[in-house]
């Protein structure tokens, strides 16, 4: 009586341990299978990944999905010093592609290869590349930015090759350099001071120009008066008369009265 339940229990346990899983793999992804037998057999990473589609595995087998299409890692760097000792910030992008998913899992244990094997060296490489360029060139010279991007890309490729990582580095872009917050504030204050200085200089030049024009006009009037043989009072009277005549031409009605006469306007 006691043997029958024991046999049933053993059979049930064996069936559970030897059950199956269905692994589904999406396009652009490979699944690396890791066998972990409960009782018998050899465990470890299978030599071939599962491609797009479905496959059946043992219940004890785990699957690790690896994206094999191009991916991008974004890394931000703050306060990297330029050649002229200006602190710059960068939002960098590193584009890569996994070339061997099985090797990645088998030798490096996880898909987070960048953080575990490259990230700290990546920071040093970017820092050294930026140190050789001025702030102005990094911010506004496309040729300099392209040169630095290529320098960093080649250095990262060499590092990945040296460490045997199954990864292809497609491109590295540092993005547009920007001064850190304190430096940017100082730059804005300097720019404002320079603009105020320019405005003051422009106003002074304009005033000087107006003074020169008025002086030239006065000299021309005085020369004309001398040519006519008039005194200053006579020339002033003629000038006033000319102004009044022009005003009368433009007005709807014009009345001329002797000098000093009171004029009543209105009803």
Q: What is the pLDDT along the chain (267 residues), one digit of tens a residue?
A: 455 555 445 444 444 455 677 777 778 888 888 887 666 666 677 878 888 777 777 777 777 888 889 999 999 998 898 898 888 999 999 999 999 988 988 888 766 889 889 999 999 999 999 999 998 898 888 899 999 999 999 999 999 999 999 999 999 999 888 886 666 666 666 666 777 777 778 888 888 888 888 888 888 888 877 887 888 888 787 788 888 888 888 777 777 777 667 767 665
Burial class (CB in 10 A: 0-12, 13-18, 19+), 160: buried
Q: For the range 242-246, what are the long-range contacts, defined as Cβ-Cβ under 8 Å and sequence gap of 24 or more?
A: none
Sign of the alpha-carbon dihedral angle for 155, 156, 157, 162 = positive
Look at residue 2 in the predicted model and tell me its pLDDT: 56
Beta pairing partners, 90: 77
- For residues 91-129, one letter each, b for 16 or more C-beta atoms within 10 angstroms of the residue's C-beta and e for the rest, the string is ebebebebebbbbbbbebeebebbeebbeeebeebbeeb
Question: Measured between alpha carbons, how far is 117 from 83 in angstroms, rounded to an integer?
Answer: 28
Evaluate whether 263 touches 257 at the Cβ level (below 8 Å).
Answer: yes
- Distance CA(222)–CA(236), nearest Å, equals 11
Matching CATH number, 71-179, of 3.30.479.30, 3.40.50.1100, 3.40.50.300, 1.10.3720.10: 3.30.479.30
> Quick one: which of 176, 154, 177, 175 has its CA closest to 93?
175
């Amino acid at each position: 009586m006691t043997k029958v339940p024991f046999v049933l229990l053993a059979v049930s346990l064996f069936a559970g341990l030897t059950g199956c899983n269905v692994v589904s793999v999406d396009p652009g992804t490979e699944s690396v299978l890791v066998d972990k037998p409960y009782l018998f057999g050899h465990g470890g990473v299978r030599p071939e990944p599962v491609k797009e589609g479905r496959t059946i595995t043992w219940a004890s087998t785990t699957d690790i999905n690896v994206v094999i299409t191009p991916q991008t890692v974004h890394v931000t760097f703050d306060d990297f010093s330029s050649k002229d000792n200006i602190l710059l910030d960068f939002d960098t992008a590193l584009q890569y592609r996994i070339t061997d998913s099985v090797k990645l899992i088998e030798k490096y244990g996880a898909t987070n290869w960048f953080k575990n094997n490259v990230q700290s060296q990546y920071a040093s490489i970017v820092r050294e590349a930026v140190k050789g360029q001025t702030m102005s060139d990094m911010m506004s010279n496309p040729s300099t930015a392209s040169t630095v991007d290529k320098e960093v890309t080649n250095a990262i490729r060499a590092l990945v090759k040296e460490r045997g990582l199954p990864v292809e580095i497609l491109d590295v872009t540092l993005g547009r350099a920007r001064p850190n917050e304190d430096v940017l504030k100082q730059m804005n204050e300097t720019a404002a001071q320079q603009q105020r200085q320019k405005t003051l200089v422009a106003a002074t030049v304009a005033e000087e120009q107006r003074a020169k024009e008025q002086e030239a006009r006065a000299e021309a009037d005085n020369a004309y008066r001398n040519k006519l043989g008039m005194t200053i009072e006579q020339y002033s009277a003629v000038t006033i008369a000319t102004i009044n005549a022009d005003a009368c031409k433009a007005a709807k009605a014009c009345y001329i009265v002797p000098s000093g006469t009171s004029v009543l306007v209105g009803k």
